[in-house]
Structure 1
Amino acid sequence: MTRISKSKFGKTSFQKLLGHNLSIMTAWSELSDILEKNVRLSASLKEQVRRTLAQSNECAYCKAKGKPDEAIFDEKTSVAVGFATVFQHHAKGNLPDSAFDILEEYFSEAEISELCAFICFTTAQQYFGAMMKLEADEEIDAESHA
């Protein structure tokens, strides 16, 4: 059971929790839509990063969508997932330079920027879900919760 009631606004349970503040829900959802699509990085790569983050961010709703699928990892996905794991193990994003050195071997600066923005935004989403006690059995979307 969530900590607050769901509003009547939004499509998903996650959006309905944000829906108490329509402008926040709308802006959050728009940014989520942009970050989750194929921009410079593929949506598939970002989904594996999202699944990796979910395993540590304590959002039951997010974890219910599955663990990373290593069978579909290519080299770039492996590096991105590894970077997400390093991010999770360093307080406040205080990552070692060596983590970025590895990223620079596989990604352009634009891709690194997109990956880092995606990791930070996804972490915020998952923290919100955990904070609000959004449970997996309340709704499991085929898509992201934002």
Structure 2
Amino acid sequence: MARIKKSPNGDTPFQKLLGHNKDILVKWSALGETLVRDGVLSAKLKEQVRRTLAQENGCEYCKAKGKPDPKVMDERMLVAAGFAEVFLKHKGNIPDHAFGVITEYFTEIEISELCAFIAFTTASQYFGAMMRLEAE
């Protein structure tokens, strides 16, 4: 059970917890929608990164959506998921050599999107963890 009651605002359990402040709900959701859809990186790649992050960020709601699926991952997805694991291990203070690996597979615009996605997703998953948002 979540630590606070869900608001009537929002479509998902996560959004209903954010929905106590409509302005935050609207802007958070808009940024989330922008980041998860196809951009310079595919939505499929970002979903595997999200799943990777969910395993360590403490949100049961996020973990319930599944673990990363190596069967659907191509080389770039594997590298991006590995980069997310390094991010988790080093709490964002990624060593230069690990960052160097990502530059071999992704352009600067792709790296910018990937890092923004990882940071936003981690914040979302931390919010879920703080609220003890559970899978339904």
Band of TM-score, shorter chain: over 0.9
Give the aligned partner of residue 52 of structure 2. 52
For 1:59 and 1:95, how far apart are their aligned partners in 2?
22
Unaligned runs of 5+ in 2: none
Give the aligned partner of residue 10 of structure 1. 10
SS at match of 2:120: helix
Give the aligned partner of residue 39 of structure 2. 39
The alignment of Structure 1 onto Structure 2 pairs a total of residues equal to 136
Give the aligned partner of residue 133 of structure 1. 132
For 1:94 and 1:39, how far apart are their aligned partners in 2?
25
Considering only aligned residues, what root-mean-square deviation do their CA atoms show, in Å? Answer: 0.5
TM-score in terms of structure 2 length: 0.99
Give the aligned partner of residue 66 of structure 1. 66
- Report deviation, 1:43: 0.2
TM-score in terms of structure 1 length: 0.92
Give % identity.
65
1:40-83, Cα deviation, whole Å (9 max, x unpaired): 00000000000000000110000000000000110100100000
- Report deviation, 1:120: 0.4
Q: State the AA in 2 paired with 1:58.
A: G
Give the aligned partner of residue 30 of structure 1. 30
Could you list the runs of 4 or more consecutive aligned residues of structure 1 that deviate by over 3 angstroms after TM superposition? none
